[in-house]
Amino acid sequence: MKKTIIVLTGSFILAASAFAQAPDWNRTLGRIDEMGDFENGDFSAEITLVSQKPGEDDTVIQARYFRRDRDDKFVIVMLKPDVQRGQGYLSIGDDLWFYDPESRKFAFSSLKDSFQDSDAQNSDFSSSSLREDYSVESYADGKLGGADIWAAVLVAKDKGVAVPKRKLWIRKDNLLVMKEEHYSLSGRLMRTIAIPKYQSVSGKFVPASMLIVDAIKVGERTQITFASPSVEKLPDSVFTKTYLERVNQ
């Protein structure tokens, strides 16, 4: 535990000194990606997603989330509510399938689609690839919640990316992304995401909870909480369609 804290502190100091001046954005985006990338192992957690829509009861979904960043794959299996139990997602690269255990059918979907009719997108569960997908258009110094930040505007290098333009509030001292705004191709604000707290898992950082606010549908908001994180190696077969069928048998 002590060793981990020393290593983490060391890495923050290193990061802070390296990026104290005008940032080298290619390096900075790469570093942000690395901080959340479990490139040498697997990651799993339990997700709780609570969605609020005006005039409706809160929607709660609990699911198990498995991620293998080195192969750009993730799997999500619904645990609750009961009527959705066993429904699941499999994402491999840019492809995503949804599985309905009742009809035993897969539906091809897109990372750009909303996750379970919430304010989250399927792509929110992919690993970060900011350096590969974006270039920094502009940035400014600022403060958010007392912390010194860079507010950087990123534009996608490729039209296929789920979010064409995003603005990140990046803490200068540890490079954690505190807040994001996602924009459409036409420049319209679509969503705002706040990540007030991260959890460190084996030297990597994943949000403890995040809040997503829909900018188009006023009053719609979603909180996602990641609990019971694990980096234990998962069987290869988890990241297959067969797994989603088998887990329901």
Partner 1 sequence: MVWKIAVRNLLQHKAKTVIIGTLVTIGIMLTLVGNSVIDSIISMISRSFIRNYTADILVTSSETMGAGVFGAQSDDMMGPPVVPLLKDYGRVLPLVRGLPGVASFTSQLSAYAMINLEAKGMDYGLFFGIDPADYFRTMDGARIVDGMGRRLEPGEDGIMLHRTVWKRIRDQRGVELKPGDPVQLNSFGNVGFKIREVPLVGVFEFDSANDRMFVPSFADVRTLRYLGGRHGGISEKVEVDASATAYLDASADAGIDSLFGNGSAQAAPAPALRTAPAADPFAILGKPGGRTAVPETEGSWNFVLIRMKEGADPGPAIESLNAAFDDLGLRARAQGWQMSASPDSFTYAGVQLLFNAFIVILACVSIIIIMNTLVASVMERTAEIGTMRALGAGKKLVFGMFVAETSVITAVFGALGIALGWAIVSLLGAAGIPTDNDALRFLGGGGILKPAVSTGPLVVSFILMAFIGLVSWVFPVLMALKVSPLRAITTE
Among 27, 70, 157, 217, binds partner 1 (CB under 8 A): 217
Binding window for partner 1 (CB under 8 A); candidates: 24-32, 127-135, 152-160, 212-220: 212-220
- Dist CA 196 CA 190 (whole Å): 20
Q: Is 108 in the site for partner 1 (CB under 8 A)?
A: yes
- Dist CA 9 CA 88 (whole Å): 38
Binding mask 35-54 for partner 1 (x = CB under 8 A): -------x-x-x-x-x-xxx
Binding window for partner 1 (CB under 8 A); candidates: 122-130, 134-142, 158-166, 211-219: 211-219
Binding window for partner 1 (CB under 8 A); candidates: 16-24, 129-137, 158-166, 167-175: 167-175
Q: Is 14 in the site for partner 1 (CB under 8 A)?
A: no
Nearer to partner 1, 78 or 111 (CB): 78
Q: Is 11 in the site for partner 1 (CB under 8 A)?
A: no
Nearer to partner 1, 72 or 173 (CB): 173
How many residues bind to partner 1 according to rule CB under 8 A?
A: 87
Dmax (CA) for the chain in angstroms is 57
Site for partner 1 in 118-157 (CB under 8 A): 144-147
- Dist CA 147 CA 170 (whole Å): 9
What is 47-101 written as a DSSP string? EEEEEE-TTSPPEEEEEEEEEEGGGTEEEEEEEESGGGTT-EEEEETTEEEEEET
Q: Is 203 in the site for partner 1 (CB under 8 A)?
A: yes
Residues 6+ apart with CB under 8 A from 71: 92, 239
Among 156, 225, 240, 245, binds partner 1 (CB under 8 A): 225
Among 84, 128, 129, 240, binds partner 1 (CB under 8 A): 84
Question: Contact at 8 Å (CB) between 229 and 45?
Answer: yes
Q: Is 100 in the site for partner 1 (CB under 8 A)?
A: yes
Question: Contact at 8 Å (CB) between 197 and 207?
Answer: yes
Residues 6+ apart with CB under 8 A from 41: 202, 231, 233
Q: Is 77 in the site for partner 1 (CB under 8 A)?
A: yes
Q: Is 176 in the site for partner 1 (CB under 8 A)?
A: yes
Nearer to partner 1, 40 or 135 (CB): 40
Among 1, 22, 140, 185, binds partner 1 (CB under 8 A): 1
Q: Is 70 in the site for partner 1 (CB under 8 A)?
A: no
- Dist CA 210 CA 224 (whole Å): 5
**CA angle in degrees (0–180, nearest 5) for 124-126-129:** 105
User: From the CB of 103, what's the least distance to partner 1, in Å?
Assistant: 5
**CA angle in degrees (0–180, nearest 5) for 75-81-85:** 45
Burial class (CB in 10 A: 0-12, 13-18, 19+), 248: middle
